[in-house]
Structure 1
Amino acid sequence: MNQSSLTTTAITALRIVLGFLFAAHGWQKFNEWTIAGTQTAFSQMGIPAAEVAAPVIAVLELAGGIALILGVLTRVVAALLVADMLGALFLVHAGAGVYADKGGYELVLLLGAAAFVLALTGAGRVSVDRALFGRSQSKLAVLA
């Protein structure tokens, strides 16, 4: 494989796996915890405006995850998911240390970093973004 094929494969794999994980977390907020349960949990965690934040975050994670899988509006969706993970990091997880089993930030940091990569690179060649807009990557990625 040449470098271009490897990059395409890497970005596509990252986008699909990250999208799946975000969609799963959004689905969990709707179906396992329910929006009312998520609002209560957010409130107990000290998240401001939990009544509004919970459904917004649930929709962002579910719809955003699906959008990432398809490669639709990838840079915008990824940037919103970075903001989501920064909120989770600083509002909830930072004080608990690194490890997720203790409520720490390792998962949100990794998800946020992966979303940041996609916000910079775009969806890649195998994406709806490429089919609709004819661009597979950002100007930053071309320079790399």
Structure 2
Amino acid sequence: MLPARRFPVLPDLGLLVGRLALGVIMIAHGWQKLTDTGHAGVTKMFKGLDIPLPSVSAAYATWVELIGGAALVAGVLVPVAGLLLALDMAGAFWFVHMDQGFFSDKGGYEFVLILGATSLMFALAGAGRFSLDSLLFGGRGGRGAAAPDRETVGV
């Protein structure tokens, strides 16, 4: 018999804190692309980096970061937002940071690695019970039908 979790709410609190942190970071990056750099500026930058379809890629990065970040903060459609953000970070890794080494102070990939891995974690784990996904789709963040807690079934 497995011991019952002493504080079963802690994983969901962890997902909430992580969603809020990652969401705010992504919103900030998307907002910066939208308002400071603008679509033309991001497209020009992406073209200079030899990113394929720079105009389409610029729109994708801007809106996925902005809307995906907001989705994480709200906890809505988190698996979809997580997957789209992970793909965004995979592109940043592949086309911009991969050949710059590990450390971000030298243009390396450490920052996009943690953003991408965390995004993928949310794609796989869902939003947790403190989310709109949980309210809308039931269970613990919209990851299908809620499984009974181990405490309630004595496993």
TM over 0.5: yes
Does the CA-based 8 Å contact 1:67-1:73 persist in structure 2? yes
Paired residue secondary structure (2:108)? coil
Residue of structure 2 in register with 1:46 after alignment: 50
1:34 is displaced (CA, Å) by 1.1
Which structure dedicates a bigger proportion of its chain to helix?
Answer: 1
For 1:92, which of 92, 96, 104 is the aligned residue? 96
Q: Residue 47 of structure 1: SS of its match in structure 2? A: coil
Work out the CA distance in 2 between the residues paired with 1:3 and 1:113.
26
Residue 23 (structure 1) aligned with residue 27 (structure 2): yes
Amino acid at match of 2:49: M
TM-score w.r.t. length of structure 1:
0.92
Partner of 2:152: none
Greater Rg by CA: 2
The one-letter amino acid of 1:46's match is: D
Structure 1, residues 45-83: CA drift from partner, whole Å, max 9, x if none?
A: 111000111012101100000000001100011011111
Q: Which residue of 2 aligns with 1:70?
A: 74
Aligned to 1:35: 39
Runs of 4+ in 1 over 3 A off after TM superposition: none
Q: Distance in 2 between matches of 1:82 and 1:3?
A: 30
2:121 aligns to what?
A: 117
Number of residues paired by the alignment? 140
**Which of these residues, 80, 89, 94, is aligned with residue 84 of structure 2?**
80
- Residue 55 of structure 1 aligns with an amino acid whose one-letter code is A
The answer as to 2:137 corresponding to 1:133 is yes
1:42 alignment partner AA = F
1:128 is displaced (CA, Å) by 0.5
The offset of 1:3, in angstroms, is 3.5
Normalising by the residue count of structure 2, what TM-score does the alignment of the two structures yield? Answer: 0.86
Task: Name the SS of the counterpart of 2:76 in structure 1.
Answer: coil
